């Protein structure tokens, strides 16, 4: 919601679709992110403009799902430490007339090498909870980032430039 506000859009309603986020066999991280955004869109039956998105963190071809345990978060942080990874966000939008547009956006993020104290402090913060890849770039993990290529807002969870362009292509114009 905060991201949309940055580009002057105030959502009327926030809906959290209940879909199965398990990757399909052999599904690439990019395809996974786009499929989840499209499934979320299909599950929401509302009028007006509907925007859905899903963000996936990948180390190589391995998808690092949203963390549900401190053990997973620690494993992901150790895996990402000292290396680059990709963040994919699938965006799907439906206009009031039923037309749809989709886009998958990729950013590359580099983590500095993390020491045990940095990892334990981050885990103690709780920011890792329900975060793809076990971190939130807009929080304390910003101190870990030594490289970013692509969209910062994509890594946060919604690529704003691309979302605004999709909306314009579907006829959405702010007054």
Parent domain of 118 = 2-169
What string of pLDDT tens digits covers the 175 residues of the chain? 789 999 999 998 999 999 999 999 999 999 999 999 999 999 999 999 999 999 999 999 999 999 999 999 999 999 999 999 999 999 999 999 999 999 999 999 999 999 999 999 999 999 999 999 999 999 999 999 999 999 999 999 999 999 999 999 999 976 5
Q: How far apart are CA 21 and CA 35, in angstroms?
A: 9
Q: How far apart are CA 120 and CA 57, in angstroms?
A: 21
Could you tell me if residue 174 is inside a domain?
A: no
Tokens 């599904």: give the residue. Answer: 27
Q: How many domains does the chain have?
A: 1
Could you tell me if residue 175 is inside a domain?
A: no
Q: How far apart are CA 127 and CA 104, in angstroms?
A: 25
Catalytic positions are 54
Q: How far apart are CA 150 and CA 37, in angstroms?
A: 20
Could you tell me if residue 147 is inside a domain?
A: yes
The domain that holds 29 is classified in CATH as 3.90.950.10
Could you tell me if residue 81 is inside a domain?
A: yes
- Pairing state between β 50-59 and 84-94: antiparallel
């Amino acid at each position: 919601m905060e991201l949309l506000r940055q580009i002057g859009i105030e959502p009327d309603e926030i809906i959290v679709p209940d879909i199965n986020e398990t990757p399909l066999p052999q599904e690439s991280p990019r395809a996974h992110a786009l499929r989840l955004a499209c499934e979320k869109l299909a599950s929401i039956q509302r009028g007006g403009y509907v925007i859905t998105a899903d963000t996936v963190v990948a180390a190589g071809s391995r998808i690092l799902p949203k963390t549900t345990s401190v053990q997973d978060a620690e494993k992901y942080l150790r895996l990402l430490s000292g290396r680059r990874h990709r963040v994919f966000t699938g965006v799907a939008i439906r206009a009031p007339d039923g037309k749809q547009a989709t886009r998958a956006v990729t950013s590359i993020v580099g983590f500095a090498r993390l020491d045990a104290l940095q990892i334990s402090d981050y885990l103690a913060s709780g920011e890792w909870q329900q975060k793809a890849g076990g971190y939130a770039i807009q929080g304390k993990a910003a101190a870990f980032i030594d490289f970013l290529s692509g969209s910062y807002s994509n890594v946060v969870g919604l690529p704003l430039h691309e979302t605004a362009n999709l909306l314009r292509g579907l006829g959405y114009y702010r007054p």
